[in-house]
Structure 1
Amino acid sequence: MSVMVEFSMSPLDKGASVGDAVAKVVDFIDRSGVPYRLNPMGTVIEGTWDECFGLVKQCYALMAEESGRITITMKVDVRAGEDGRLDTKVRSVEERVGRKLRT
């Protein structure tokens, strides 16, 4: 089973600029070994249910060390029998369009 989670997480008590807090979490995701893609509005991770939600939980704990209020937005896609969808979903759209797209 493949689980993809797109999420964004931000502290609400650090003012308008949250880049340092977000960078700390993204660095943690990168070091985790879980496949991911960073985008301007969040991060998509792929793994098992436990890997994905365990990682989100760890990211929350990391941010909570320095913040008393955090907002988290998540979308979850669960599909039986398919892995590697971070790449295959994009390729599928590119094949239908007939060219490589900016991602």
Structure 2
Amino acid sequence: MLVAFSVAPSGTHDDDGSLHDAVAAAVRIVRASGLPNHTDSMFTTIEGDWDEVFAVVKAATEAVGAWGPRVSLVLKADIRSGRSGELTGKVERLEAALAGPASSPAATPAP
């Protein structure tokens, strides 16, 4: 499964409104997990089985909790049995489609 998540404290922040130190605490946990992961400007995506992924999300959320009295957690999961390597595989298939000829779904007749 892939889980994309964003976690941040609320109630406190740096003088400039940045949350980078709190987010860094979460990302350190993700990277130390050894699971495949990718962080971009909005989310961190992690790949693994249900129990190991959610254990990492829980630990990352708890780490961010040290930065404020409340924590906001947003997540999206792609649960697809029997698949692995999707952290990069999905992007590779998209890039291949972009490099190929443009296609569109078959037109359906109007009612």
TM-score, normalised with respect to structure 1: 0.88
2:3–2:53 contact (8 Å) kept in structure 1 = yes
Higher gyration radius (CA): 2
Q: Does 1:4 align with 2:2?
A: yes
SS of residue in 1 equivalent to 2:53: helix
Ranked by relative contact order (alpha carbons within 8 Å, sequence separation 6 or more), the top structure is 1
Whole-angstrom CA distance in 2 between matches of 1:20 and 1:62: 11
RMSD: 1.2
Aligned equivalent of 1:53 = 54
- Aligned AA for 1:63? V
Whole-angstrom CA distance in 1 between matches of 2:84 and 2:46: 12
Task: Spell out, residue by residue over 1:37-67, the C-alpha distance to the aligned partner (whole angstroms, 9 max, x if none).
Answer: 1011010000000011111111111112332
Whole-angstrom CA distance in 2 between matches of 1:22 and 1:61: 11
Select the structure that is richer in strand.
1
Task: Please list every run of 5 or more consecutive structure 1 residues that lacks an aligned counterpart in the other structure.
Answer: none
Aligned equivalent of 2:64 = 63
Aligned equivalent of 2:106 = none
TM-score, normalised with respect to structure 2: 0.82
Whole-angstrom CA distance in 1 between matches of 2:27 and 2:11: 19
Q: Percent of aligned positions with the same letter in both sequences? A: 35
Post-superposition, which runs of at least 4 consecutive aligned residues in structure 1 deviate over 3 A?
none
SS of residue in 2 equivalent to 1:37: strand
* Number of positions where the alignment pairs a residue of Structure 1 with one of Structure 2: 97
